[in-house]
């Protein structure tokens, strides 16, 4: 059974069992650091209730000294680390792919993303304490305390993995706080993994088992789900060998205001949104009011973001009476931009929907 959300949540639920919900897009632009009440929730099964006083995480596998740690042990272990990072679901913006062709999964608008300050222990410090030395070709598997409902397979504990080299990079956290508050249950209390730059799926909530091993996790989420399949593949013919593991997220941008279908007065309108280039800077954001024939540059806002933050932008445009298709596309520091059409990136699982974001409005 899913827990009801606190009354200050304004999230739109795609499903309640398990709970999957995203904020109205204007709420994403309300704060550079997304409030917990506005932060999307993505869960694969019932959310466990874990007691912070007795919860433990085990570190085992190819380590010299296996560990069994309480939350107190982790908090006392080394100086807590704060990391500002975006968490984004691989299915963010799936609704745009659904227009091209049927996909599996919830039809997320561009709200399956949020930016928070995470506090916790660096996973690298914990793995060092466990005596990890070599990293070449190894993986770190994570298991949550929840049971995932797996499509076409048996229910099983939620599990994923990341390359050990990423785990040792310093910014991957075992986090107990989000925006300075203890983690909420729906975001993984009392402890979750945060893997900045990687798809949200790797940031295991309710973490209880960490294992260093010579192959990726064989859990369903890692081995069968969250793969980017070619466009000719369908559910019935899917073959994991032909799927690319979704780790780093692609360049993306979305219009958060105005909302699709808005009626606007003639004259000046400000459009606002976010852009994200994962481990690169956003170099430029272009907007169009005519479906992408003519472009002008949006203003990139400086909110003191760091390496794993998103970028906020806005543009004030003069709109004449009639129907308009507002469009945004971002450019990264390597001079790369997004594909124009959702058709170009369609895949049956509906992942990595990163074509130009289009919003139709009417000016009266």
Question: What is the radius of gyration, based on Cα positions, of the chain?
Answer: 21
# binding residues, ligand MTE (CB under 6 A) = 18
The dihedral sign for the CA sequence 243, 62, 173, 306:
negative
Contact pattern from residue 9 through residue 48 relative to ligand MTE, giving x for each residue in contact according to CB under 6 A and a dash for the rest: ------------------------------xxxxxx----
List Cβ neighbours of 129 (8 Å cut-off, separation of 6 or more): 65, 67, 77
Contact pattern from residue 200 through residue 229 relative to ligand MTE, giving x for each residue in contact according to CB under 6 A and a dash for the rest: xx-xxxx-----------------------
Residue 97 touching ligand MTE (CB under 6 A): no
Angle at Cα 352 formed by Cα 346 and Cα 355, nearest 5°? Answer: 65
Question: Which CB sits closer to Mo ion, 42 or 94?
Answer: 42
Q: How far is CA 345 from CA 15, 123, 288, 310, 356, in A?
A: 25, 34, 21, 22, 11
Minimum gap (Å) between residue 207 Cβ and ligand MTE:
7
Question: Which CB sits closer to ligand MTE, 178 or 251?
Answer: 178
Nearest to 147 by CA among 156, 134, 139: 156
List Cβ neighbours of 152 (8 Å cut-off, separation of 6 or more): none
Question: Which CB sits closer to Mo ion, 42 or 349?
Answer: 42
Q: Judge contact between 122 and 175, C-beta under 8 A.
A: no
Minimum gap (Å) between residue 132 Cβ and Mo ion:
27
Q: What is the 3-state secondary structure (H, E, C) of 233-298?
A: CCHHHCCHHHCEECCECCCEEEEEECCCCCEECCEEEEEEEEEECCCCCEEEEEEECECCCCCEEC
Cα 114 versus chain centre, distance:
7
Task: Give the one entry of ligand MTE, Mo ion, none that residue 184 binds, where binding means its C-beta sits below a cut-off of 5 to 8 angstroms depending on kind.
Answer: none
Residue nearest to Mo ion (CB): 89
Q: Judge contact between 179 and 33, C-beta under 8 A.
A: yes
Interacting residues with ligand MTE between 108 and 147 (CB under 6 A): 144, 146
- Alpha-carbon dihedral 346, 347, 349, 352, rounded to 10 degrees: -60
Question: Which CB sits closer to ligand MTE, 115 or 272?
Answer: 115
Task: Give the one entry of Mo ion, ligand MTE, none that residue 115 binds, where binding means its C-beta sits below a cut-off of 5 to 8 angstroms depending on kind.
Answer: none
List Cβ neighbours of 225 (8 Å cut-off, separation of 6 or more): 150, 151, 201, 349
User: How does DSSP assign 119-142, residue by residue?
Assistant: EEEEHHHHHHHTT----TT-EEEE
Of the ranges 33-41, 87-95, 114-122, 231-239, which one interacts with Mo ion (CB under 5 A)? 87-95
Minimum gap (Å) between residue 199 Cβ and Mo ion:
6
Minimum gap (Å) between residue 63 Cβ and ligand MTE:
22
Contact pattern from residue 73 through residue 92 relative to ligand MTE, giving x for each residue in contact according to CB under 6 A and a dash for the rest: --------------x-x---
Contact pattern from residue 149 through residue 188 relative to ligand MTE, giving x for each residue in contact according to CB under 6 A and a dash for the rest: ---------x----------------------------x-
Task: Give the one entry of Mo ion, ligand MTE, none that residue 146 binds, where binding means its C-beta sits below a cut-off of 5 to 8 angstroms depending on kind.
Answer: ligand MTE
Does residue 29 sit in helix, strand or coil? coil
Minimum gap (Å) between residue 101 Cβ and ligand MTE:
22
Of the ranges 62-70, 120-128, 195-203, 353-361, which one interacts with ligand MTE (CB under 6 A)? 195-203
Binding site for ligand MTE (CB under 6 A): 39-44, 87, 89, 144, 146, 158, 187, 200-201, 203-206
């Amino acid at each position: 059974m899913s827990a009801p959300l606190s009354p200050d949540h304004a999230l739109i639920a795609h499903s309640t069992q398990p709970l999957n919900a995203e904020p109205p897009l204007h709420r994403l632009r309300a704060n550079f650091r997304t409030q917990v009440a506005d932060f999307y929730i993505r869960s694969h099964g019932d959310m466990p209730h874990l007691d912070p006083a007795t919860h433990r995480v085990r570190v085992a596998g190819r380590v010299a000294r296996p560990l069994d740690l309480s939350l107190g042990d982790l908090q006392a272990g080394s100086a807590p680390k704060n990391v500002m990072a975006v968490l984004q679901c691989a299915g963010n913006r799936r609704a745009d792919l659904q227009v091209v062709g049927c996909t599996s999964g919830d039809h997320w608008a561009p709200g399956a993303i949020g930016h928070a300050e995470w506090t916790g222990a660096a996973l690298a410090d914990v793995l060092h304490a466990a005596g990890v030395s070599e990293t070449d070709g190894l993986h770190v598997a994570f298991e949550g305390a929840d049971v995932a409902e797996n499509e076409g397979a048996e229910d099983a504990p939620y599990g994923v993995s990341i390359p050990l080299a990423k785990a040792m990079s310093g910014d991957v956290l075992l986090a107990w706080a989000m925006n300075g508050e203890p983690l909420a249950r729906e975001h993984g209390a009392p402890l979750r993994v945060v893997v900045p730059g990687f798809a949200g799926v790797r940031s295991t909530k309710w973490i209880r088992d960490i294992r260093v091993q010579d192959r990726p996790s064989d859990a369903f989420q890692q081995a069968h789900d969250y793969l980017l399949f070619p466009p000719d593949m369908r559910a019935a013919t899917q073959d994991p060998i032909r799927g690319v593991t979704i780790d780093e997220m692609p360049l993306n941008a979305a219009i958060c205001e105005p909302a699709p279908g808005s009626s606007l007065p003639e004259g000046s309108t400000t459009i606002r949104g976010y852009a994200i280039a994962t481990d690169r800077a956003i170099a430029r954001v272009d907007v169009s009011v005519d479906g992408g024939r003519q472009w002008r540059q949006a203003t990139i806002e400086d909110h003191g973001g760091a390496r794993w933050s998103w970028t906020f932008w806005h543009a004030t445009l003069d709109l004449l009476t009639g129907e308009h298709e507002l469009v945004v596309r971002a450019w990264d520091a390597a001079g790369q931009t997004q594909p124009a059409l959702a058709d170009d990136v369609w895949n049956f699982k509906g992942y990595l929907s990163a074509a130009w974001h289009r919003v139709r409005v009417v000016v009266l």
